[in-house]
């Protein structure tokens, strides 16, 4: 099949990769790209780094120009929200009531930032997920030094705290865990990150966020579960995200617990595929369902979903292939780059090798159920870091991976 309509819902990096792969794969029918933001597809990682610091302008984040998108002959629906999907008929309903009957659908709606109720009209409270979010916070950071409380010490919170501190603001970083990014990186790397933030003057507090304090419609600080109440001129809520699946929940055929559940081919139902942050798919190598909020995974998974959808529709002669990537992510904080391969989250065993404390060089191995599943490094040369990928390209016995890691690091 090469005619009819394929709808890609989500004008994200994943959505863009999907429509490009569909055209390359031979789809000549209508190709609809739906995005609830008014912007052309843009890159999100720089939002909490280069854009927030003011090093980049917004126009540098665009992934394609209008001219480049025109070559795809898209039915482009920006500023348009999808409100429902009937999986049986592959029909997408839009907010204005229009119903799009499709030969196939790829869901790439990503995630939404968590927030707290009652704060929509409070000045000085920010989230950081979209381009408009980042521009709003960047405007504040570009002014005179003031007090910022970052609620949430995961990856996003840590990156934003680092940028704000380098711009001269007084920063308090609040988290439920005593170490930054602890749930992802564990004790060893978390301790290194804590030392780095402290060295740059970030105040770190441990506790849950109980309330945001306000006066005359403006934020004045936060109150934590331990009773402490740091003052603030602005608050960044970096308290996690939720898969954008509300519009899918009316269809009982779709499993939307923690994202859209898919099989190893990224299919949620016949003709319905998902990619990027919203997809929770079965990874045969890890033997479980994963949902990965990393930039590279978004692009790779979108291409795999598009390829498998075309194979199902008979557009190509290819057979569907399982999506079995080696996930990769990075984080930049104070000039220190963290890079990781594999799956770190959910590890029940971690071992950290501190190579050089002064140079902030560290490597760590992560495992689950006796298998090594992920590896992280900071401060190492790019070629050496890339060499670590082979250590966990396929989850294998912990002891074998541990020995390979030490050999790769020259630690033996």
Nearest to 295 by CA among 69, 41, 36: 41
pTM across the whole model? 0.95
pLDDT of residue 224: 94
- State the 10-residue block means of pLDDT for the chain, 412 residues long: 88 97 97 97 95 94 95 97 98 98 98 92 94 95 92 96 96 95 91 94 94 93 92 95 97 96 98 98 95 95 98 93 95 90 92 77 91 91 81 91 84 52
pLDDT of residue 406: 82
Q: In whole angstroms, how far apart are CA 282 and each of 43, 81, 224, 274?
A: 26, 28, 38, 12
The first and second tokens of residue 361, run together, are: 């060089």
Whether the Cβ atoms of residue 247 and residue 82 lie closer than 8 Å to each other: yes
pLDDT of residue 2: 64
Whether the Cβ atoms of residue 104 and residue 273 lie closer than 8 Å to each other: yes
**Total residues belonging to the chain:** 412
pLDDT of residue 109: 98
Nearest to 3 by CA among 26, 30, 25: 30
Distance CA 131, CA 47 (A): 7
Helix (H, G, I), strand (E, B) or coil at 399: helix
Place of tokens 């564990």: 186
Whether the Cβ atoms of residue 103 and residue 90 lie closer than 8 Å to each other: yes
Q: In whole angstroms, how far apart are CA 66 and each of 35, 79, 275?
A: 15, 16, 23
The first and second tokens of residue 308, run together, are: 């498998």
pLDDT of residue 360: 79
Distance CA 342, CA 210 (A): 34
Nearest to 169 by CA among 194, 195, 201, 197: 201
């Amino acid at each position: 099949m090469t005619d009819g309509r394929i709808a890609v819902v989500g004008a994200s990096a994943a959505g863009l990769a999907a429509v490009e792969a569909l055209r390359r794969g031979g789809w000549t029918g209508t190709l609809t790209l739906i995005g609830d933001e008014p912007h052309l597809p843009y890159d999100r990682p720089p939002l909490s780094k280069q854009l927030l610091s003011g090093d980049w302008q917004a126009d540098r984040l665009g992934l394609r120009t209008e001219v480049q998108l025109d070559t795809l002959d898209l039915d482009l629906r920006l500023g348009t929200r999808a409100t429902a999907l009937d999986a049986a008929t592959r029909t997408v309903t839009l907010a204005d009531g229009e119903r799009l009957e499709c030969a196939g659908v790829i869901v790439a709606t990503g995630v939404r930032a968590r927030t707290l109720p009652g704060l929509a009209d409070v000045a000085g409270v920010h989230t950081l997920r979209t381009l408009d979010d980042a521009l709003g916070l960047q405007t504040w950071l570009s002014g005179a030094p003031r007090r910022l409380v970052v609620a949430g010490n995961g990856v996003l919170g840590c990156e934003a705290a680092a940028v704000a501190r380098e711009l001269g603001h007084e920063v308090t970083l609040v988290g439920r865990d005593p170490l930054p990014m602890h749930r992802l990186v564990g004790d060893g790397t978390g301790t290194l990150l804590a030392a780095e933030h402290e060295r740059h003057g970030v105040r770190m507090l441990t506790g849950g966020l109980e309330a945001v304090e306000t006066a005359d419609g403006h934020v004045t600080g936060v109150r934590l579960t331990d009773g402490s109440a740091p003052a603030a001129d602005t608050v960044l809520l970096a308290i996690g995200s939720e898969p954008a699946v509300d519009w899918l929940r009316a269809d009982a055929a779709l499993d939307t617990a923690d994202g859209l559940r898919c099989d190893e081919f990224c299919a949620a139902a016949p003709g319905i595929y998902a990619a990027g942050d919203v997809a929770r798919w079965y990874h045969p190598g890890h033997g479980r369902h994963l949902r990965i909020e990393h930039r590279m995974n978004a692009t790779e998974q979108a291409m795999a979903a598009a390829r498998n959808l075309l194979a199902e529709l008979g557009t190509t002669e290819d057979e569907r292939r399982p999506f079995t990537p080696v996930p990769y992510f990075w984080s930049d904080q104070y000039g220190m780059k963290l890079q990781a391969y594999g799956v770190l989250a959910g590890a029940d065993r971690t071992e950290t090798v501190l190579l050089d404390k002064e140079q902030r060089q560290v490597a760590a191995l992560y495992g689950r159920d006796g298998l090594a599943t992920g590896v992280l490094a900071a401060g190492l040369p790019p070629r050496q870091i890339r060499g670590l990928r082979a250590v966990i390209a396929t989850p294998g016995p912990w002891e074998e991976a541990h020995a390979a890691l030490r050999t790769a690091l020259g630690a033996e």
